[in-house]
Every structure is written in C-alpha cells, then in structure tokens.
Structure 1
C-alpha cells in the first residue's frame, strides 16, 4: 500500500483500496498465505479510516472510534493469489449499528474485476476505560453511512 495511492469508488458501493503483495507474503507453495488476507484487509481499512481522520496514536481514550475490538471474522477463499504485485481490497459496510458494525470485503485484482477472497468482520466500539460497548460518534456514523452497501 502506498500513501499516494487514491482510494476510489469501487463498483456500486464501498471503496477500492490498493494493497501490495510482497514476496514474504507468500507461503512455501508460492501462494498468498492465508493469514495475510486479514492483515492486508486490516491495512486497507486502517488507511481508509485514517484518511477520514480516525486513527490510533497511542492513547486509547483519545482514539475515540478507533477504540474497537473484533467480535467475528470470516474469510472465504475463491481463487489463489500466486504472484506478488498490485492488488486491491474492496471495502464496504453491511451494517452500522449503535455500538457495532459489520463490514464486508473482497480481496481482488487491482481493478476490482477478479475476486480472490471475500468475507466479513464484526467490530464493537469500546469505551477505553471500561472496555464495554460504546456508541459510535456521529462523525464516524456519517462516514460509515457513505460506505453502506445499498440495502445495508
């Protein structure tokens, strides 16, 4: 992922965020290692949210909406990634609740045309002091609504 790479609309919903697969992301068979998919998706989400001003900079109380935890992660592999180079992650929100959200993703070719893996992840926004669920801010919800899949 490069800092200069644009985050562009992808298809009819969500965003397509460029990522890079490096040689050390491949397993002994020359395939993208299964543990790298969630890592690359996480990096894409981090870049997208940082561009909207949401980031963790060392202080959980100051992190606000960036203080969240994964409740569920599902990845389904559809085709092997066999080469290093430029790819993308198509990101969108399936559901935006008061304290949680579900996002969908596709690990795909750089142009978004070929899908290698897809899945979803459920996040819960946490209060930094109590680690109990806390509501998303209105600013976060406004950005999230832009990412909602139609019908989501």
Structure 2
C-alpha cells in the first residue's frame, strides 16, 4: 500500500484535531518531551468531548460521562518532534464497551501525513458515589460511535 493510500485509510475514520507545540514543550535537546505527547492527546480529546457537551466542571456528582479514569496508557514514539508550531492528533475509538472504552491516537503533522507517536488508552466510567464502573450514557455512546474504527 502506498503512503497516500495508507493516509487516506487512516483518515477515513476518527477525527483530526489541531494542537500546538510551544517552546516550553521541548526538552533540553530541543525535542518534544515524551511526557507532553499524552498531555497534547488529552487536550485534543477534551476538545472533542466538550464540543459534544461532555465536560468536567469540578463537580463529580454532576460530571456524568466525564467521571472516568485511565486504566491503561500505551504509547510508542516513531519520530522526534523538533519544532514548535501546528500539529494534530488523530483520534478514534478501537472499542466502546458498556463501562469502558479503548481509544487510539496518532500524534502527527497538521495534515496527518507524518506520524510522530501512536498509542492507545483505556478509560473506565465511574459512578461518582461508589467509584465503581458504571455504564456510559446513550448520548456518550452515540457520540463515540462516530469515532469507531472500522474492523478489518
């Protein structure tokens, strides 16, 4: 498969969210610090969900689907980011379960062509009273279904 075909397939699902790398995101070697990748991915997800009315405003009891925790984070670094400026995060869902989900991401160039890092993260929705897993709302599930990656 050509690079163009691979990119077209990758961008046929999920969302490409613009992010910005700033000077203070770089490490002493002038590369994007490894801890900044998950932070920039988190900011992209926050933007996606806030556009759909899902946000945390400081009250767990009324947070709804925003009351969730990270169960697992896996990330692989493919190429160094050595400049500040515009980039993007390609987001999608690998799995949408009853109380949990697995999302995939690529930290990439603004046009989605070059991949710098990729990974997955597992989230679990919690009941704010018991802190035990609880089902996602139907509204959340509907928004999430638009990001599901097609199964091979």
Please classify the TM superposition score into its range, dividing by the shorter chain length: over 0.9
Cα distance in 1 between the residues matched to 2:11 and 2:121: 20
Cα distance in 2 between the residues matched to 1:136 and 1:44: 20
Q: Does 1:45 align with 2:45?
A: yes
Cα distance in 1 between the residues matched to 2:61 and 2:147: 25
Cα distance in 1 between the residues matched to 2:140 and 2:61: 16
Cα distance in 2 between the residues matched to 1:137 and 1:147: 16
Aligned length: 143
Cα distance in 2 between the residues matched to 1:96 and 1:59: 25
Q: Does 1:123 align with 2:123?
A: yes
Pairing of 1:70-109 with structure 2 (within 5 A) = 70-109=70-109
Pairing of 1:23-62 with structure 2 (within 5 A) = 23-62=23-62
Partner of 1:7: none
Partner of 2:136: 136
Q: Which runs of 5+ in 2 are unaligned?
A: 1-9
Q: CA deviation at 1:39?
A: 0.3
The alignment yields a C-alpha RMSD, in angstroms, of 1.0
Runs of 4+ in 1 over 6 A off after TM superposition: none
Cα distance in 1 between the residues matched to 2:61 and 2:18: 30
Q: Deviations along 1:70-123, whole A, 9 cap, x unmatched?
A: 000001000000000000000000000000000000000000000000000000
Q: CA deviation at 1:151?
A: 1.5
Q: CA deviation at 1:58?
A: 1.0
Q: Does 1:113 align with 2:113?
A: yes
Q: CA deviation at 1:27?
A: 0.1
Cα distance in 1 between the residues matched to 2:26 and 2:58: 31
TM, length-normalised to structure 1: 0.93
